[in-house]
């Protein structure tokens, strides 16, 4: 089941990524913010570890770039109408994010 934020970051990520469910008070922004300063590889490993997840079924995370500043964008599809665009530095650390779509 989903436990929400009170049980910590990992439980929240597992809930959202693997179970595909949302805490009613959680927003894409509140979910993505804890990724700031963390390696993007963590999200790739979560998705790779669960090929039945909604994200995996939507084709997984897509990497785009490089940007003019040398950073990369990683597009994480939450649902059909909302993606999170994570920006990473050349070492793969998340430095920014934004939500894109009608359902964010």
Tens digit of each residue's pLDDT (9 = 90 or more) over 63-82:
998 999 999 999 999 888 99
* Token pair belonging to 70: 């040398």
Q: How many CB atoms lie within 10 A of CB 58?
A: 16
Cα angle value 12/17/18 (rounded, 5°): 100
For every one of its 104 residues, what pLDDT tens digit does the chain have, with 9 covering 90 and above? 444 444 444 455 555 554 444 445 578 888 899 999 999 999 999 899 998 988 998 999 999 989 999 999 999 998 889 999 999 999 999 999 999 999 88
The residues that bridge with 13 in the sheet, in sequence order, are none
Q: Which of 55, 47, 42, 19 is nearest to 92 (CA)?
A: 42
């Amino acid at each position: 089941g989903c436990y929400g934020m009170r049980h910590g970051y990992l439980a929240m990520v597992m809930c959202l990524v693997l179970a595909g469910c949302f805490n009613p008070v959680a927003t894409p922004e509140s979910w993505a913010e804890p990724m700031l300063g963390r390696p993007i590889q963590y999200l790739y490993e979560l998705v790779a570890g669960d090929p039945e997840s909604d994200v995996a079924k939507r084709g997984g995370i897509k990497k785009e770039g490089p940007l003019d500043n040398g950073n990369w964008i990683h597009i994480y599809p939450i649902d059909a109408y909302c993606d999170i665009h994570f920006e990473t530095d050349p070492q793969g650390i998340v430095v920014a994010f934004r939500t894109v779509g009608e359902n964010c």
